[in-house]
Chain A
């Protein structure tokens, strides 16, 4: 659960092999292929949008306030009044699950954006300038890769104390090496191409070349990396909160809710079910988007 997202290289599988496989199972293949092409992306985007809307619209949709306690109604199983049941303080779990996505979505969005911005900036400049700067960046990326994300989270919390901000910083730092590595790998072959030379010849500045001629080549892989990184960010955010390093009770947050629900598993098994299902749904949809995008920009992969 602590692995970091990587964009699998297409070189891992050879073209002839895939072509033969496709020929051998043509009928089954074409069925799979047509199912494979646009559906995942569409369904994924739809689910992510719905989940985002539901979370943002929580005040309108929630049947009750997520904070109103009613001790006489504690740990009640799902019913017409409380479709997801109630928690140990008698709070409505459906409302808490609806509100619970807010911290997760906000934290993972911010951390992925931070990682993408800094990671790409560092990766692009390292690939472009090369030399000792490139070597240094490579080394730092190696070092960051040797910290499992959860451990990095623990280290950041040691410095900054538990809280949502620590979690955002930890996930950003953990996701950063991927963005740096991918953007660097993409720019190194690209900077030797004629159009870059042409830009040099007409007198474009270094920053113009990096930002306006080289960066656009990265948009495709970057979108894939962001959506897959987003999926991992949600998992990590929930995990770190579950461990007590992120959001704190009484904040409605899926990881925090699961951490409490673990203690009530004998009395109230439904308590743990719905927050976890929400995480799975969100991560699953984000993975669908990432995979769908990857197939869309790399048609060869989609055909396999």
Chain B
């Protein structure tokens, strides 16, 4: 068990190193001299040379990579060329918005997916199942930004119940904060829900035909407790893996939702940074999100044997 966890954790290191090389490669491939960009067009050559030395841009590539990596690992993501803040400060301000959005979207996705998935599997082949499958199929084809715009039209323009965009921090009250998050979370969570729903339905269908379900029915358990205590609990185990993957994708999807709803999260931060050519900010955030994605999947993989004793035993035995 412990050995499995250690092997799994160590296995992530080459991937993380690969990501860091790739992201550093991006900073290296970006056309134009960062020192020139920082100094501006009217700077004298001495100023540019000074900047270059100050930022270590005159060092060989591998030294620049190692010092960059050292900074990243220590949580120093660099400095913005334009705003007088460090990338870490900018990210620190924006991250809570993005995390809240990602978590709420996942919640929306689960609220849709879990009941629908369970009923679909229990009543497999019914009109409900068919209808849910059709809706999921359509949901899979709707771009989240369009869904977002349509939600704005219905709830902000037409019904005038929710704001069309902008962020209200939690400090202004829970309800105003949630109001600004409801539409983005639905726009983002719907897509994830379709995949979660399909997956839960398949894994529950599998479980429902297992011998121990027949046994628990045979010993006279009520259908409700067979379903909830035995079937759903086991079907949710593989579901957690998919949940982890979706969480990672949601982190990427926040770029779009934040753009549609004008939320000041890291998605919008990285987007404006790239469009303004503020590359320290852009690469810092790209590295951060890719690393988070890998680590989320690692955590999910590590939770898995805790949830499923069979995996735990099989792996500690081997």
Interface residues in chain A, defined as those with a beta carbon under 8 Å from any beta carbon in chain B? 1-3, 8, 12-14, 16-18, 20-21, 24-25, 28-29, 32, 139-140, 142-143, 146-151, 154-155, 157-159, 162, 231, 235, 238-239, 242-245, 255, 258, 261-262, 265-266, 269, 272-273, 276, 279-280, 283-284, 287-288, 291
Q: Which residues of B contact A162 (CB under 8 A)?
A: 275
CA A60 to CA B209, docked complex, whole Å: 57
B143 lies within 8 A of A279 (CB): yes
Q: List 20 A-B contacts (CB under 8 A).
A: A1-B145, A3-B195, A17-B206, A17-B208, A143-B19, A146-B15, A146-B248, A147-B252, A150-B256, A155-B282, A155-B286, A235-B143, A238-B145, A262-B152, A265-B156, A276-B143, A280-B146, A283-B141, A287-B137, A288-B137
Task: State which of B26, B251, B297 has its C-beta within 8 Å of the C-beta of A159.
Answer: B26
User: Is there an interface contact between B130 and A239, defined as CB atoms closer than 8 Å?
Assistant: no
CA A20 to CA B294, docked complex, whole Å: 39
Residue from A12, A20, A146, A242 in contact with B145 in the complex, judged by beta carbons closer than 8 Å: A242
Q: B22 in the interface, Cβ–Cβ < 8 Å? A: yes
**Is B18 at the interface (CB under 8 A from chain A)?**
yes
Q: How far is the CA of A280 from the CA of B147 in the complex (A)?
A: 10
CB-contacts of B226-257 with A (<8 A): 245-246, 248-253, 255-256
Assess whether B256 is in contact with A243, with CB atoms less than 8 Å apart.
yes
For the complex, give the distance between the alpha carbons of A102 and B312 in Å.
52
Taking the complex as formed, is B289 at the interface, i.e. its CB lies under 8 A from any CB of chain A?
A: yes
B149 near A148 with CB under 8 A, answer no
A139 touches B15 (CB 8 A): yes
Within B14-57, the residues touching A (CB, 8 Å) are: 14-15, 18-19, 22-23, 26, 29-31
Q: In whole angstroms, what is the CA distance A7 to B275 when docked?
A: 34
Identify A265's interface contact among B26, B149, B246, B256, CB under 8 A.
B149
- CB pair A146–B293 under 8 Å, yes or no, is yes
Selected contact of A148 from candidates B18, B30, B145, B249, CB within 8 Å: B249
With A154-B286, A159-B30, A258-B149 already in contact, the answer to whether A147 and B293 are too (CB < 8 A) is: yes
**Nearest 6 A-B pairs (CB), nearest first?**
A148-B252, A17-B209, A276-B146, A25-B125, A284-B141, A2-B252
Chain A residues, Cβ within 8 Å of B31:
159
- In the complex, what distance in Å separates the CA atom of A8 from the CA atom of B245? 14
- A142, A157, A269, A287: the one contacting B157 at CB < 8 Å is A269
The distance in angstroms between the C-alpha atoms of A14 and B207, with both chains bound, is 9
Please name all residues of chain B whose beta carbon is closer than 8 Å to the beta carbon of A276 when the two chains form the complex.
143, 146, 149-150
**Cross-interface CB contact of A143 among B15, B209, B259, cutoff 8 Å:** B15
Question: Please, which residue of chain B has its CB at the minimum distance from the CB of A273?
Answer: B150
Smallest CB-CB separation from B125: which chain A residue?
A25
Label chain A's interface by main secondary structure.
helix
Q: Taking CB as reference atom, which chain A residue is nearest B252?
A: A148
| Contact A13 B252, CB 8 Å, known A29-B125, A154-B286, A265-B157 | no
- Is B124 at the interface (CB under 8 A from chain A)? yes
Is the pair B255, A150 in contact by a Cβ cutoff of 8 Å?
yes
Query: Please, which residue of chain A has its CB at the minimum distance from the CB of B268?
Result: A243
Contact of B125 among A16, A28, A159, A266 (CB under 8 A): A28
Closest partner residue, chain A, to B262 (CB atom): A262
Partner of B246, one of A3, A239, A261: A3
Are A140 and B18 in contact (CB-based, < 8 A)? yes
Pair B253/A143 contact, Cβ less than 8 Å = no
8 Å CB contact of B30 from A12, A146, A158, A291 = A158
Most chain B Cβ neighbours within 10 Å, of A13, A18, A158, A245:
A158
Contact of B5 with A by CB under 8 A:
no
Cα of A24 to Cα of B150 in the assembled complex, Å:
41
Contact status of A151 and B140, CB under 8 A, knowing A12-B202, A157-B274, A276-B146:
no
> What are the residues of chain B within 8 A of A2 when measuring CB–CB?
249-250, 252-253, 256
Q: Determine the chain A residues whose CB is within 8 A of the CB of B297 once the complex forms.
A: 146
The chain B residue with its CB closest to the CB of A135 is: B14
Set B137, B138, B144, B279: member contacting A158, Cβ < 8 A: B279
List of A residues within 8 angstroms of B208 by Cβ: 17
B residues less than 8 Å from A25 (CB atoms): 124-126
Contact A151 B206 (CB under 8 A): no
